Chains A and B, each alone.
Chain A
Amino acid sequence: MKELAVKAYKIRQDVLDIIVSGGGGHIGGDMSSVEIMLTLYNRMNVSPEKAKDPDRDRFVLSKGHCVETLYAVLAEKGFLDIEEVKAKFSKFGSEYIGHPHNTIPGIEMNSGSLGHGLSVCVGMALAGRMDGKKYRVYTLMGDGELAEGSIWEGLMAASHYKLDNLCAVVDRNHLQISGNTEDVMGHHDLHARFSSFDWHVINVADGNDIDQLNAAFDEAEKIKGCPTVIIADTVKGKGAALMENKASWHHHLPNQEEYEQISKELKARREALEHE
């Protein structure tokens, strides 16, 4: 998995380039969720050749504002041309907007308004069961997003229907735009809350560690009779000290000096991983 860990830092540079080129983006959550999306896309049965295959796995980015990472990961998987994304992101008339849109190859559903993805995935998982399909359905939610009431409707329905083909991931970076999630609207013991909704809950101590994430996804695949949620503890702004664990970097646009500093640190971390 060293190769993927190295790749995660290339993805981070792509994300940084996309955001700087487009003049804005949600850099903090993008950076915290890189390994989650990269790991998933290297496990899921998806490819540009079978973008419409009824048997493909499904992924819905419920925290749609982290689309820059999704674009970079989709490009890595051959769905998109990363240079085209960088050139067009947020530009006048562009198809590459600041939230997922399902006219873009590889994107299943439009999102951006928080709290929709899980319920949509409940529908996808039910459809899979009705049709006797083996595909799995994944969604990635933010921890701030969990304050949306609709998520708890989705949690309720998923366990009611025992959707073991559904796996939700929480990018638990502990920060949202106004500050610490526990100060803004506390989640307290998230594990207990999800458990009380009859979900199988897996805590990943380092949600930026690909081996730990893969182990969690392996476990989720084995769980039968209920859906699984993975609470992945991540670092918001992961990749450079300048932006790590800072709520102010939720959608901060780096200036030239910051861009260079972050790029330098991303390169250094990538090289360190390569030489491990």
Chain B
Amino acid sequence: MNKIANRAVMCEVLKEAASKDKDVVVLCSDSRGSASLTSFADTYPEQFVEVGIAEQNLVSIAAGLASCGKKSFAVSPASFISTRSYEQCKVDCAYSNTNVKLVGISGGVSYGALGMTHHSAQDIAAMSAIPGMRVYLPSDRHQTRKLFETLLQDHQTAYIRLGRNPVEDTYEEGNVPFEMDRATVLGEGTDVLLVACGEMVRPAKDAMELLKQKGISAGALDMYCVKPLDSEGLLKAAKGKKLVVTVEEHAPFGGLGSMVAQVISANDPKRVINLALPDTPVITGTSAQVFHYYGLDTEGIAASVCKALEE
């Protein structure tokens, strides 16, 4: 079991960058511990800005810094940075074209029993609707490193959602296929295509293997780049399949499933099923319990595919 959370990897990458570039600046809203950024704050205090529990201020200050040449990373729980600060993300980051990377930590249902105030099941929909905002959900620690290293090189805003807890690796260290804004092909199949993002990628990959054992040929895509969605890669992978199944830790509306369905229906119409959280506050539990309950774990995904193929 991997013990390193994606957020911890973010901290390592940002520390490496800060050591070489004084313009790399990290901002937190009393969230340095939750973000695993305490060691960044301790090592580079002059490149760290604490704004207190004030997420709107966090994002606007990050944008002001960026407008003066800083590479701002504003890091706060996904539920707050994506919705409480939504207008600041829209106006001060995307519309004003400032280089602010908005990092939503403890995304999805990471906070488990803390309830809907702390769950971010709307962030993909909200952020994707903003012109100029890119949305990324890396799947494991290796891809998180690649993504942050790449994002440090560009000058546009983006929203990145990370989970709270360590997740099983999807990729092997030293062998991490990664192309910016291109989905990663996890496996090829002839019957079904699974498309997942973030923490749903590993269970989708495992479901692909489980389905093969059941005699169903499934392919899978890691669509870490939810926006811009890799339409070309999606259509290529979906070609000839009977069914496309999306898997996301998000509300059932406006997320990965909606975007995949738009592309498929416009270009290569076929059945698309969206496996997501329900349109209700989620049941109390750990991430694993919640995923199991709503069929978002390996067995649940495989079962949904089997059922759909039987219909």
Give the B-binding residues of A (Cβ under 8 A). Answer: 54, 58, 102, 108-113, 116, 119-128, 130-131, 149-150, 153-154, 156-157, 160
Q: Bound state CA distance, A112 and B46, in angstroms?
A: 32
Q: Bound state CA distance, A102 and B95, in angstroms?
A: 9
For the A-B complex, the count of residue pairs with Cβ-Cβ distances under 8 Å equals: 96
The residue from A108, A127, A150 contacting B60, defined by CB atoms under 8 A apart: A150
Give the A-binding residues of B (Cβ under 8 A). Answer: 22, 25, 46-47, 49, 51-52, 54, 56-57, 60-70, 72, 87-88, 91-92, 95-97
Q: Bound state CA distance, A152 and B88, in angstroms?
A: 15
The residue from A109, A127, A131 contacting B96, defined by CB atoms under 8 A apart: A109
In the assembled complex, how far is the CB of residue B116 from the closest CB belonging to chain A, in whole angstroms?
22
Q: A150-B60, A153-B54 are in contact. Are A123 and B68 (CB under 8 A)?
A: yes
Chain B contacts for A125, CB-based, 8 A: 64
Chain A residue nearest in CB terms to B88:
A116
Q: Bound state CA distance, A109 and B93, in angstroms?
A: 10
Which 7 pairs of residues, A with B, have the shortest CB-CB distance? Answer: A123-B64, A119-B60, A127-B68, A153-B57, A123-B61, A120-B64, A123-B65
The residue from B64, B87, B96 contacting A126, defined by CB atoms under 8 A apart: B64
The residue from B46, B88, B91 contacting A130, defined by CB atoms under 8 A apart: B46
Q: A102-B96, A116-B60, A150-B56 are in contact. Are A157 and B65 (CB under 8 A)?
A: no
CB distance A119 to B57 under 8 Å? Answer: yes
Chain A residue nearest in CB terms to B62:
A123
- If A149-B56, A153-B54 are given as contacts, then 10 extra A-B residue pairs at C-beta distance below 8 Å, sorted by A number, are A54-B68, A109-B92, A116-B92, A119-B61, A120-B63, A123-B68, A124-B64, A126-B64, A127-B69, A153-B57
Chain B interface helix/strand/loop/mixed: helix
Chain B contacts for A127, CB-based, 8 A: 64-65, 67-70
Chain B contacts for A122, CB-based, 8 A: 57, 60-61, 64
Chain B residue nearest in CB terms to A155:
B57
In the assembled complex, how far is the CB of residue A35 from the closest CB belonging to chain B, in whole angstroms?
26
Chain B contacts for A102, CB-based, 8 A: 96-97
The residue from A124, A131, A157 contacting B54, defined by CB atoms under 8 A apart: A157
Chain A interface helix/strand/loop/mixed: helix
10 CB contacts below 8 A, A to B, read A54-B69, A102-B96, A122-B64, A123-B63, A130-B47, A130-B70, A149-B56, A150-B57, A157-B57, A157-B61
In the assembled complex, how far is the CB of residue A55 from the closest CB belonging to chain B, in whole angstroms?
11
Chain A contacts for B66, CB-based, 8 A: 123
Q: Bound state CA distance, A127 and B68, in angstroms?
A: 6
Chain A residue nearest in CB terms to B51:
A157
Chain B contacts for A131, CB-based, 8 A: 68-69
CB distance B60 to A123 under 8 Å? Answer: yes
Q: A122-B57, A157-B51, A157-B54 are in contact. Are A110 and B64 (CB under 8 A)?
A: no
Q: A110-B91, A130-B46 are in contact. Are A124 and B68 (CB under 8 A)?
A: yes
Chain B contacts for A123, CB-based, 8 A: 60-68, 70, 72
Q: A102-B97, A109-B67, A119-B60 are in contact. Are A126 and B91 (CB under 8 A)?
A: no
CB distance A109 to B52 under 8 Å? Answer: no
Chain B residue nearest in CB terms to A110:
B96
In the assembled complex, how far is the CB of residue A28 from the closest CB belonging to chain B, in whole angstroms?
23
CB distance A120 to B92 under 8 Å? Answer: yes
The residue from A108, A111, A153 contacting B67, defined by CB atoms under 8 A apart: A108
CB distance B52 to A157 under 8 Å? Answer: yes
CB distance A121 to B54 under 8 Å? Answer: no
CB distance A124 to B67 under 8 Å? Answer: yes
CB distance A154 to B91 under 8 Å? Answer: no
CB distance A126 to B49 under 8 Å? Answer: yes
In the assembled complex, how far is the CB of residue A139 from the closest CB belonging to chain B, in whole angstroms?
10
Q: Bound state CA distance, A130 and B67, in angstroms?
A: 14
Q: Bound state CA distance, A108 and B67, in angstroms?
A: 8
Q: Bound state CA distance, A116 and B58, in angstroms?
A: 11
